Amino acid sequence: MTDKAVALQLDLRRRAFNLLVAYGILPVILAVFYVVFALIEPRFHSFDNFINIITQSSYLIILSTGQMVVLLTRGFDLSIGTVISLISVSSALVMMGVLARNPDAIGFAIFLACLTGLGIGLAVGAVNGLCVSVLRVSPFVVTLGMHGIALGFASTLSEGFPVFNLPVEFTNFFSRGTVLGIPATVIVCIIVLAGVYLLLNHTVFGRALYVIGGNPRAAHVAGFSSRLHLTGAYVVCSFIAAIGALLLTARTGSGEPNLGGGLGGGLAGGLMLASIASAVIGGVSLRGGEGRIFHCVFGGLFVTILSIGMNLIRVDSYIQLMVLGTVLVLALFVDRLRSQIRL
């Protein structure tokens, strides 16, 4: 073998290794799981189930994208699940309150409910961000405390019961609606992904988040305000969570005080764990400074396919939780291994 051939072979191996480090083996595992579930349960490979996977994964991809923004700064948001519940209940109560006064004001009721939900998301994000950046409290403590506060408010406002009888127009528009055959949920997901991509890759704010998470000293030398950008990261995360909350409320057709689940659970039982798991499994690093949009897409698809596949083959929900937790631990191990390889 000539020196040129050896050099070419080494170059191909280096390129393959760089692709593996950058993208991981998740796309391959994703394809394997899809084929395995399709072989075990033929219904899994149906067109209807494919649309179901794309639609269901959109919710989780949206939430994991918001979680990624905070993970880039070496933080995380444990309150995202119960904040979703609070937004669901609050927006539903606003809708019902407006319609009780004027049954014909459906459009205004939906608009005011969405405005309320997004406003709550911004407020919660600002509180979390200021506590982390200004008061220097651990993200774990701050967001865990907010988890309890949001859960308490959601349960108090709803008195522990769902808020039913939301207008059909709200559900039809945000959940069942389609544009050119594409579900509205998928379209909203694409818009969120595009917005976050532009924010992280084409703004000073986005570049600052990568620097702050990857090398805080370099960020200080570069003149980035860690307080401003940390606060902004949590605001963006909660705002995106509010969008997801409104979509999930439309899907259920009611304001649910338990919509976001608790601290545990899979996709149905705990959106906090599912959002962090899908981001980390996709390739977003808990060490900060590393994460891209496609990581959330692959991670969200993986968790959704895993959840739907196990449901179709009738795996117990507690076993599903164990599987998701195991996959998350393995993802953390792989993330650590990849960081050592880079070093």
Q: Which tokens go with 120?
A: 């709550």
Give pLDDT, residue 265. Answer: 39
Least confident piece of the model among 232-241, 248-257, 333-342: 333-342
Of the two residues 111 and 286, the one the predictor is more confident about is 111
| pLDDT category of residue 263 using cuts at 50, 70 and 90 | very low
Q: How many residues in the chain?
A: 343
Sign (positive/negative) of CA torsion 209, 81, 195, 122? negative
Give the tens place of pLDDT for each residue, 113-132.
999 999 999 999 999 999 99
- Are the beta carbons of 300 and 61 closer than 8 angstroms? yes
- Asked if residue 342 is part of any domain, the answer here is no
Give the tens place of pLDDT for each residue, 186-222.
999 999 999 999 999 999 999 999 999 988 877 777 7
Highest mean pLDDT among 69-78, 173-182, 286-295, 310-319: 69-78
- Asked if residue 86 is part of any domain, the answer here is yes
- Are the beta carbons of 143 and 78 closer than 8 angstroms? yes
- Asked if residue 2 is part of any domain, the answer here is no
- Alpha-helix runs per DSSP H in the chain: 3-23, 26-40, 47-71, 80-101, 106-133, 139-158, 168-171, 184-201, 204-214, 216-221, 226-252, 271-282, 293-312, 317-342
Instruction: State how many domains the chain has.
Output: 1
- Asked if residue 13 is part of any domain, the answer here is no
The model carries a pTM of 0.88
Give pLDDT, residue 23. Answer: 54
Question: What is the average pLDDT score of the chain?
Answer: 86
- Asked if residue 309 is part of any domain, the answer here is yes
Q: Which amino acid is at 228?
A: L
- Asked if residue 297 is part of any domain, the answer here is yes
Q: Which domain holds residue 163?
A: 49-332
Give pLDDT, residue 266. Answer: 41
CATH of the domain at 57: 1.10.3470
CA 308 to chain centre: 17
Sign (positive/negative) of CA torsion 199, 202, 203, 206? positive
- Are the beta carbons of 125 and 239 closer than 8 angstroms? yes
- Asked if residue 15 is part of any domain, the answer here is no
For residue 178, the surrounding DSSP H or E stretch is strand 178-179
Give pLDDT, residue 124. Answer: 97
Give the tens place of pLDDT for each residue, 274-285.
898 889 888 898
- Asked if residue 242 is part of any domain, the answer here is yes
